[in-house]
């Protein structure tokens, strides 16, 4: 990490959705995490574990039921009106499918400059030059500014998505499965681009991805979520096969079809699916899929405890 200054801090963030008459869905449960300047925080977990809900709170697309999100020490969840609009430029997001977030009738040049126009940083006459510069930043030819999104491949569109998000020079870039729909070789080139941009601009990145091996290679720390809870926060260097990790993290790692695995052994993986978030087990949320479940797991929800430097695990076994 280039510096130790805390840039973003989530404090006991809880988001509860009302569903049906009396049911409540705990999408995020007391999430506490700090993100440092220049750091990449990876977030992993299965579908429905609350990853996207959490980052929607960070980019102010949604508000937490309780808890605070501090950016430079100031709570941003309570911002209203113009204040809120102005703060949005600090934290920008890249989506999994840029198709769904691009206006199909807008040319690429206008797409990447839209935020700058919105915040009044450039005049419409400056679109041309600015777009060229932004496209160059993400290693795309400047001619692309006169094309439409459908004329680009998935990887090229994702580069445009990154250029658009970085146009207004945010301090934090949030990527929601931004490489998941891409071929592996394209995925690698996008990852390399992000690493380069991070170095050049001292960017802070929050990266959601279900591929824990990819996350490990690009993140400083990884936060593992399960059913709305943080079960582990682990520095990437402490995350390798056989290391001391939460049983759920172990299961995620065990399920990877790696090229260097022993193909004669059956793939390890937990049986069963994640329970519905409407029906979270008492005590430890992971207990009914955990092989190491003991008595206390049914009664008491484990809290995050430090087990090493920067390494926290929520499990009664530790």
Q: Per rule CB under 8 A, is residue 253 in the interface with other proteins?
A: yes
| Partners of 17 in the β-ladder | 25
Which is it for the CA torsion 198, 202, 208, 209, positive or negative? Answer: positive
| Partners of 176 in the β-ladder | 208
Residues between 40 and 59 that touch other proteins (CB under 8 A) = 40, 46-47
Q: Per rule CB under 8 A, is residue 150 in the interface with other proteins?
A: no
Q: Between 46 and 121, whose beta carbon lies closer to other proteins?
A: 46
Q: Per rule CB under 8 A, is residue 270 in the interface with other proteins?
A: yes
Do 251 and 270 form a contact (C-beta atoms < 8 A)?
Answer: yes
Interface pick for other proteins out of 29, 156, 158, 187 (rule CB under 8 A): 187
Q: Between 81 and 257, whose beta carbon lies closer to other proteins?
A: 257
Interface pick for other proteins out of 19, 61, 86, 261 (rule CB under 8 A): 261
d(CA 249, CA 231): 8
Instruction: Find the DSSP H helices in the chain.
Output: 51-58, 81-88, 98-101, 108-118, 127-137, 154-166, 184-201, 212-218, 247-254, 295-299
Q: Per rule CB under 8 A, is residue 278 in the interface with other proteins?
A: no
Q: Per rule CB under 8 A, is residue 186 in the interface with other proteins?
A: yes
| CB of residue 280 to other proteins, shortest distance in Å | 16
What are the residues whose beta carbons fall under 8 Å from the beta carbon of 32, sequence distance 6 or more?
10, 11, 12, 13, 230, 304
Q: Per rule CB under 8 A, is residue 268 in the interface with other proteins?
A: yes
Q: Between 167 and 230, whose beta carbon lies closer to other proteins?
A: 230
| CB of residue 181 to other proteins, shortest distance in Å | 9
d(CA 290, CA 285): 10
Residues in contact with other proteins, total (CB under 8 A)? 47
Interface pick for other proteins out of 61, 86, 106, 213 (rule CB under 8 A): 213
| CB of residue 260 to other proteins, shortest distance in Å | 6
d(CA 132, CA 134): 6
| CB of residue 215 to other proteins, shortest distance in Å | 8
Q: Between 19 and 213, whose beta carbon lies closer to other proteins?
A: 213
Q: Per rule CB under 8 A, is residue 288 in the interface with other proteins?
A: no
Phi/psi at 230 (nearest 5 deg)? Answer: -85, 120
Place of tokens 């200054």: 5
Interface pick for other proteins out of 251, 293, 304, 313 (rule CB under 8 A): 251
Do 104 and 152 form a contact (C-beta atoms < 8 A)?
Answer: no
Residues between 87 and 116 that touch other proteins (CB under 8 A) = none
DSSP assignment letter at 91: E
Which is it for the CA torsion 236, 307, 70, 43, positive or negative? Answer: positive
Residues at the interface with other proteins (CB under 8 A): 40, 46-47, 154, 183-188, 191, 195, 198, 210-214, 216-220, 236-237, 240-241, 251-261, 263, 266-273
């Amino acid at each position: 990490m280039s510096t130790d200054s805390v840039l973003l801090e989530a404090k006991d963030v809880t988001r509860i959705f009302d569903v049906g008459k009396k049911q409540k869905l705990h999408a995020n449960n007391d999430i506490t995490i700090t993100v440092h300047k220049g750091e990449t925080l990876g977030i992993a977990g299965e579908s429905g574990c609350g990853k996207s809900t959490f980052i929607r709170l960070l980019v102010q697309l949604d508000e937490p039921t309780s808890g605070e999100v501090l950016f430079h020490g100031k709570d941003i969840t309570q911002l209203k009106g113009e204040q809120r609009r102005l703060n949005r430029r600090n934290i920008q997001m890249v989506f999994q499918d840029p198709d769904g977030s691009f206006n199909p009738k807008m040319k690429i040049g206008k797409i990447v400059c839209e935020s700058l126009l919105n915040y009044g940083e450039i005049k419409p006459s400056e679109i041309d030059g600015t777009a060229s510069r932004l496209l160059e930043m993400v290693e795309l030819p400047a001619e692309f500014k006169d094309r439409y999104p459908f004329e680009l491949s998935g990887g090229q569109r994702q580069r445009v998505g990154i250029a658009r998000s970085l146009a207004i020079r945010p301090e934090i870039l949030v990527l929601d499965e931004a490489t998941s729909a891409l071929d592996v070789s394209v995925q690698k080139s996008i990852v390399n681009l992000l690493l380069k941009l991070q170095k050049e601009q001292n960017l802070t990145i929050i990266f959601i991805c279900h591929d824990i091996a990819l996350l490990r290679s690009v993140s400083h720390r990884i936060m593992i979520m399960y059913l709305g809870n943080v079960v582990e926060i682990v520095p990437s260097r402490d995350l390798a096969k056989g290391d001391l990790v939460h049983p759920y993290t172990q299961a995620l790692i065990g399920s990877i079809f790696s090229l260097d695995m022993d193909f004669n052994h059956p793939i390890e993986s937990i049986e069963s699916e994640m329970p519905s978030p409407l029906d979270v087990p008492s005590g430890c949320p992971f207990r009914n899929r955990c092989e190491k479940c003991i008595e206390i797991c049914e009664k008491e929800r484990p809290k995050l405890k430090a087990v090493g430097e920067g390494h926290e695990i929520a499990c009664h076994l530790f």
